[in-house]
Amino acid sequence: MNDAMNSRFILHNALIVTMDKESRVFRNGGIVIDNDRIVAIGQSADIIRQYSSNSHEIIDLHGQFLLPGLINTHVHTSQQLARGIADDVDLLTWLHHRIWPYESNMTEEDSYISTLLCGIELIHSGVTCFAEAGGQHVSGMAKAVELLGLRACLTQSVMDSGDGLPSSWGIRTADECIQSQKELHKKHNNTADGRIRIWLGIRQIMNSTDQLLLQTRDTAKELQTGIHMHVAEIPFENDLVMQTREVDHGTVTYLEKVGFLSSNLLSAHTVWVNENEIGYLSNHEVKVSHCPAAAMRMLGFAPIKEMLDANVCVSLGTDGAPSNNRMSIVDEMYLASLINKGREVYTKGTTDPTALPAESVLKMATVNGAKAVLWENEIGSLEVGKKADMIVINPSSWSMVPIHDCISSLVYCLRTENIVSVMCNGRWIMKNQKIMNVDEAEIISMAKHAAAQLLSRAGIQIPNRMNLV
């Protein structure tokens, strides 16, 4: 589908939350888009006066809200078909008996279908760009991202050591891990009109030798790309690092010691860190992805307020479907604010309703997300010269009316269902809640079938609950 002829738009009569450096919000704003870029933004009347003369399609948003596309900085697109396979189980069962058998039995076609299904949910929740946390079949993911019209930093799941991994995986050497990622980079980086970038991955420190860590660091520099890694997820991880790697605290202390911390590191979760380690993250400008729902379920309370106070760039992620079930960054914005207000009870003896105010949470989901994926020069805010990645929100429904404070409404009232249209790279990828580039019903049907086949191949059985008759 080539809609290049129609990619000149004026959207006007909208409340525009730009997320620019001056935090400008236009009560009645307009924006002009030529192909994939924003060429003008301002008061609606001025925009119409200056630009409405010729070839732009003019769209009146009738007071709806316009925001930058939201950015999900930690999502396992390959795990979408595993939604519901590991609910209410302990961490070891989750990993050894559900997730590893699932992932190790996945084909590239499964990954493609899983990413399509996940992508549909991401688009419905207003996401235009995401960072893949690491899966087995990057080519399958890339095919789905290209088709959906999304923007993404894709990453392979990389491990070169560790106990308990499925035998079919076989442990690869550090050299093999690097080589395979270099090939993926060559094949897919900067493809799909520049919407796809390939990053390096480290699944987590317990599955990585020092050789892999250091080669990953150096290769990322050479390819000028980012590294996505799960960091300091559980106390056990820190304990193991202290025992085996001779440091007095956990993963972050060790990564600092070996010179791994850097501004191109996207550190997922990062829950179990002390004050010194927050200092290291800040000094090296490491980016943190906070996944509130997954943290509450599996990991613990991350010191997000302390990180933000120390100028660490914290963004938001959903994690994967078996850790969260809901791939909605809208839900994560709400949770991030509530959980971090509530967490203050541990330090202050009372919750703190002023912690993580709505504007900070919006920043996490937009500009901080853009910094986290190393793309802040082109996305994350609505500004002249940036890519046309944006979402239209209908605030006139039971979930948001009345609106006395438009900024707080976007965090505390907004539901996924309020997001009506999504544009990425100057193209509508959802319009009036219709996914544009794939048949949503067909993908749902394919996903049901692929998920059933995959679970049966992997020998995963979900015990019945209650009195299922």
The span of 35-43, 133-141, 382-390, 455-463 binding Zn ion (CB under 5 A) equals: 133-141
* Least gap, CB of 269 to Zn ion (angstroms): 7
- Measured from the CB atom, the residue of 237 and 319 that comes closer to Zn ion is 319
Cα 2 from Cα 449, distance rounded (Å): 31
How near is the Cβ of 91 to Zn ion at its closest, in Å? 13
The whole-angstrom separation of Cα 414 and Cα 124 is: 13
User: Should residue 400 be labelled a site residue for Zn ion when binding is judged by CB under 5 A?
Assistant: no
- The nearest distance, CB 230 to Zn ion, in angstroms, is 5
Q: Given the complex with Zn ion, which of 291 and 413 has the nearer CB atom?
A: 291
Q: How far is the CB of 294 from Zn ion (least distance, A)?
A: 7
CB of 95 to Zn ion, least distance (A): 11
Q: Tell me whether residue 133 or residue 288 sits nearer to Zn ion (CB atom).
A: 133
**Residue 133 or 435 having the CB closest to Zn ion:** 133
Q: One symbol per residue from 315 to 354: x for binding Zn ion (CB under 5 A), - otherwise; what is it? A: ----x-----------------------------------
Question: What residues have CB less than 8 Å from 184, skipping those under 6 apart?
Answer: 138, 139, 154, 156, 198
Shortest distance, CB of residue 44 to Zn ion, whole angstroms?
42
Task: Report 149-168 residues binding Zn ion (CB under 5 A).
Answer: none
Of 4-12, 36-44, 128-136, 240-248, the window that binds Zn ion (rule: CB under 5 A) is 128-136
The least distance separating Zn ion from the CB of residue 118, rounded to whole angstroms, comes to: 13
Q: Which is nearer to Zn ion, 318 or 421 (CB)?
A: 318
Residue count at the site for Zn ion (CB under 5 A)?
2
Please identify, among the stretches 94-102, 143-151, 282-290, 311-319, the one whose residues bind Zn ion according to the rule CB under 5 A. Answer: 311-319
Please give the Cα distance from 153 to 134 (Å, whole number). 10
10 Å Cβ neighbour count for 69?
28
State both tokens at 465. Answer: 């609950």
How far is it, in rounded angstroms, from Cα 448 to Cα 462? 16
Distances in Å between the alpha carbon of 427 and those of 32, 149, 391, 435? 13, 8, 11, 12
Q: Which stretch binds Zn ion (CB under 5 A): 48-56, 127-135, 152-160, 425-433?
A: 127-135
Which DSSP state fits 80? G
Which listed range, 17-25, 36-44, 126-134, 328-336, lies at the site for Zn ion (CB under 5 A)? 126-134
| Distance of alpha carbon 127 from alpha carbon 119, whole angstroms | 9
> Is the Cβ–Cβ distance between 184 and 135 less than 8 Å?
no
Do residues 9 and 55 lie in contact, with contact meaning Cβ atoms separated by under 8 Å? no
Three-state SS across 255-286? HHHCCCCCCCEEEEECCCCCHHHHHHHHHCCC
Nearer to Zn ion, 160 or 319 (CB): 319
For the bound state, the minimum distance from the C-beta of residue 321 to Zn ion, rounded and expressed in Å, comes to: 11
Distance of alpha carbon 280 from alpha carbon 274, whole angstroms:
10
The interface region with Zn ion, picked from 129-137, 236-244, 255-263, 360-368 by CB under 5 A, is: 129-137
Identity of the residue numbered 439: D
Exposure class string for 350-367: b at 16+ Cβ within 10 A, else e: eeeeebbebebbbbbbbb
The counts of H helices and E strands in the chain are: 19, 18
Smallest gap from residue 228 Cβ to Zn ion (A):
9
> Between residues 198 and 268, which has the closer beta carbon with respect to Zn ion?
268
Task: Using the minimum distance from each CB to Zn ion, give the nearer residue, 141 or 436.
Answer: 141
Say whether residue 192 binds Zn ion (CB under 5 A). Answer: no
Q: How far is the CB of 317 from Zn ion (least distance, A)?
A: 8
- Closest distance between Zn ion and the C-beta of residue 319, in Å? 5
For Zn ion, the closer CB: 238 or 324: 324
In the numeric block, the tokens 């039995």 are attached to: 105
| Residue 133 lies near Zn ion (rule: CB under 5 A) | yes
Q: Which ranges of 34-107 would DSSP assign to H, the alpha helix?
A: 44-51, 91-92, 100-104
112 with 143: CB under 8 angstroms?
yes
**Bridging pattern class, strands 25-34 and 151-154:** unpaired
Nearer to Zn ion, 106 or 133 (CB): 133
The dihedral of CA 317, 320, 323, 329: what is its sign? positive
Give the closest residue to 409 by CA, choosing from 453, 455, 464, 361: 361
Is 380 in contact with 68 (CB distance < 8 Å)? yes
Query: For Zn ion, which is the closer residue by CB, 231 or 388?
Result: 231
Q: Where does this chain bind Zn ion (CB under 5 A)?
A: 133, 319
